[in-house]
Amino acid sequence: MRIFITGATGFAGSHLVENLVAAGHELFALVHQETSHQPLLQNERVTLIEGNLLEMSSLETAVAQAKPDVVYHLAGQAYPARSWQQPGLTLAVNSVGTANLLQAVVGYGRPRVLIVTSAEIYGEIQPEMLPITEQTMPAPNHPYGVSKWAAGLLVPLYWERYQLPVVEARPFNHIGPHQALGFVVPDFASQLAEIQASQRPKRMMVGNLEAMRDFTDVRDVVRAYELLAEQGQPGETYLICSGQPVKIETVLQKLIEIAGVEVVVENDPKRMRPSDTPCLYGSYAKLEAQTGWQPSFSLEQSLSDILVDWGQRVLRADADERR
């Protein structure tokens, strides 16, 4: 199949590209050079198309060139904390950018479309409301959450008005190799990898360790994306999660155990987020019922692979500095 993908240079996008290429599909990846941070898989099946979610003409040209059977929309401003610094840009890229893409696709034809939003739309959830389901009312507590909620609201609209077969994937926290700094697990893993390489003192700086989150391996997440692109019901939303809350302190302890180093853990006020929701986890029952999907990577396997990835990054960075 011919597949058009945005966000191919991102964390989940890079894993999705690997899967789709391995399956023999022909990919057309929208690339915005100013914000791309992940090198694309070099393959003859991948065609790069320069474009911008905020420039309608570039999207129309890109979609016309790709002539897609399936569209995956993963691109966006992905950092909740940054959304407080750049609220207008976050809303523009994540909400307006999604609207522009959907409009460009409608102008081309009726390919199946997967729009990726985020469980960050739920904000502060009371314990009695857990686990979160697709029926839980969103109450975002930062501009990023607002932007993703607005993007998701477009999904049923474009199905009802244009009969565009579009589905919303709403993932919770996902972790795995290749994730950038700025998220809790890679922040921990990068520090441990530097300690292993004797590049920093045996001291780790951390934020709130009491919060509990729902972590899913990115490789399971992108497998869910593929299944939803094929089997999801148009106009519908599906949560992607593990269904299990894990304390951040537990994640840290497991990483330290896997790394096999002794460290002193210190609180860093700059990493503390007063608005942190104490506990957040969801149910993937709807996704499982529709596609048969279940998470396959254990938390321990994910964390082990992440540490290996960061160990390799630290070694490469050190080798580059020595040249």
Look up residue 46 and give its two tokens: 């991948």
Look up residue 294 and give its two tokens: 């279940």
Question: pLDDT at position 34, please?
Answer: 62
With H, G, I as helix, E, B as strand and everything else as coil, classify residue 7: coil
**Least confident among 34-48, 187-201, 230-244, 276-290:** 34-48
Question: Does residue 251 contact residue 215 with C-beta atoms inside 8 Å?
Answer: yes
**104-131 residues labelled b (16+ CB within 10 A) or e (exposed):** bbbebeebbbbbbbbbbbbbebeeeebb
Question: pLDDT at position 35, please?
Answer: 63
The yes-or-no answer to whether 2-174+215-240 and 180-213+244-281+298-322 have a common fold is: no
Question: pLDDT at position 200, please?
Answer: 93
Question: Does residue 162 contact residue 106 with C-beta atoms inside 8 Å?
Answer: yes
Average of pLDDT values for 204-216? 93
Average of pLDDT values for 280-306? 98
Question: pLDDT at position 234, please?
Answer: 98
Residue 276 pLDDT > 80? no
Give 176-188 pLDDT, tens digit per residue: 999 999 899 999 9
**Domains in the chain: boundaries:** 2-174+215-240, 180-213+244-281+298-322
Question: pLDDT at position 268, please?
Answer: 81
Question: pLDDT at position 274, please?
Answer: 54
What is the spatial distance between Cα 8 and Cα 76, in angstroms, rounded to a whole number? 11
Give 79-100 pLDDT, tens digit per residue: 999 999 999 999 999 999 999 9
Question: pLDDT at position 273, please?
Answer: 63
Better-scored residue on pLDDT, 219 or 317: 219
Average of pLDDT values for 40-61? 91
Q: Work out the percent of the chain whose per-residue pLDDT is above 70.
A: 95
Residue 157 pLDDT > 60? yes
Sheet order of strands, 46-50 included:
46-50, 26-31, 2-6, 70-73, 112-116, 166-171, 237-240
Query: Which residues are bridge partners to 173 per DSSP?
Result: 215
Return mean pLDDT, the chain: 94
Give residue 267's pLDDT band: very low, low, confident or very high (50, 70, 90): confident
Give 239-260 pLDDT, tens digit per residue: 999 999 999 999 999 999 999 9
Give residue 228's pLDDT band: very low, low, confident or very high (50, 70, 90): very high
Give the CATH number of domain 180-213+244-281+298-322.
3.90.25.10
Residue 279 pLDDT > 60? yes
Question: pLDDT at position 272, please?
Answer: 65
Residue 192 pLDDT > 90? yes
Question: pLDDT at position 198, please?
Answer: 92
For 2-174+215-240, the fitting CATH number among 3.40.50.720, 3.50.50.60, 2.60.420.10, 1.10.287.3510 is 3.40.50.720
Residue 108 pLDDT > 60? yes
Average of pLDDT values for 107-112? 93
Helices 11-22 and 218-231: crossing angle, nearest 10°? 60
